[in-house]
Amino acid sequence: MTIKEEMTAPYAPVDAGAEQSFNNFTNTIITETKKNCNPEAEYFARKQIEMLNKMNPNYIETISMPELYEMVYTGKAPIIDGLLYPGTYLFVGSPKVGKSFMMAQIAYHVSSGTSMWNCEVRKGTVLYLALEDDYKRLQARLYRMFGTEMTENLFFSVASKSLGQGLNEQLRSFITNHPDTNLIIIDTLQKVRECDSDNYSYAKDYEIITQLKSFADSMGICLLLVHHTRKQKADDGFDMISGTNGLLGAADGAFLLHKEKRTGRNAVLEISGRDQQDRKFHLIRNEQTLAWDLERVENELWKEPAEPLLDEIAKLITNDTPDWIGNATDLSKILQVDIPVNSLTKKLNVNAGKLLNDYGISYRYTKNHEGRFLEFHLVSESP
Which tens digit of pLDDT belongs to each residue from 366-376? 888 788 899 99
Distance CA 79, CA 281 (A): 17
Torsion angles phi and psi, residue 28, rounded to 5:
-130, 135
Residue-wise pLDDT for 189-240, tens only, equals 999 986 555 566 888 888 999 999 999 999 999 999 999 876 666 655 566 6
Q: Which domains does the chain have, with CATH numbers?
A: 2-62 (no CATH), 87-297 (3.40.50.300), 308-378 (1.10.10)
From residue 258, alpha-carbon distances to 62, 84, 261, 264, 269 in Å are 44, 18, 9, 11, 7
The mean pLDDT of the chain is 83
Q: For position 69, what pLDDT does the model report? A: 87
For the whole model, what pTM was predicted?
A: 0.76
55 falls in which pLDDT band (50, 70, 90)?
confident
* Cα–Cα distance measured from residue 63 to residue 260, given in angstroms and rounded to the nearest whole number: 49
Q: Which amino acid is at 323?
A: D
pLDDT score of 305 more than 50: yes
Mean pLDDT score, 297-305: 77
Is a pLDDT exceeding 70 seen at residue 110? yes
3 state SS of 287 = coil
What is the pLDDT, as a whole number, of residue 199? 60
Rounded Cα–Cα distance for residues 323 and 302 (Å): 32
Model pLDDT, residue 290: 94
Mean pLDDT, rounded, for 278-289: 93
Runs of H (alpha helix) within the chain: 39-54, 65-68, 99-112, 135-146, 167-177, 202-219, 246-250, 308-316, 328-335, 341-350, 352-359
77-95 per-position pLDDT tens digit: 889 988 999 999 999 998 8
Is residue 271 predicted with pLDDT exceeding 60?
yes
Kindly indicate the confidence band of residue 20, based on its pLDDT and cuts at 50, 70 and 90: very low
Specify the pLDDT at position 239: 60
Give the distance from CA 235 to its chain's centroid. Answer: 29
pLDDT of residue 217: 93
From the list 200, 10, 184, 20, the residue with the least C-alpha distance to 87 is 184
Say if residues 352 and 343 touch (Cβ distance below 8 Å): no
CB 155 within 8 A of CB 127: yes
Whether 299 has a pLDDT exceeding 60, the answer reads yes
Among candidates 139, 154, 76, which has minimal Cα distance to 109?
154
- Using the predicted structure, report yes or no on whether residue 5 has a pLDDT greater than 50: no
Contacts of 3 by beta carbon, 8 Å cutoff, 6+ apart: 29, 30, 31, 38, 41, 42, 45
pLDDT of residue 330 exceeding 70, the answer is: yes
Q: How far is CA 376 from the centre of its chain?
A: 22
Strands of 371-378's sheet in order across: 323-326, 371-378, 361-368
Whether residue 142 contacts residue 126, with contact meaning beta carbons closer than 8 Å, is answered with no
Q: Which amino acid is at 213?
A: K
Cβ proximity of 88 and 279 under 8 Å: no
Distances (CA, A) of 233 to 95, 190, 229, 260: 15, 21, 10, 14
pLDDT for 198: 54
Q: What is the DSSP letter of 241?
A: B
Using CA atoms, how far residue 373 sits from 100, 348, 363, in Å, is 49, 12, 11
Q: How far is CA 110 from CA 82, 107, 122, in A?
A: 14, 5, 7
Closest CA to 300 of 30, 133, 82: 82
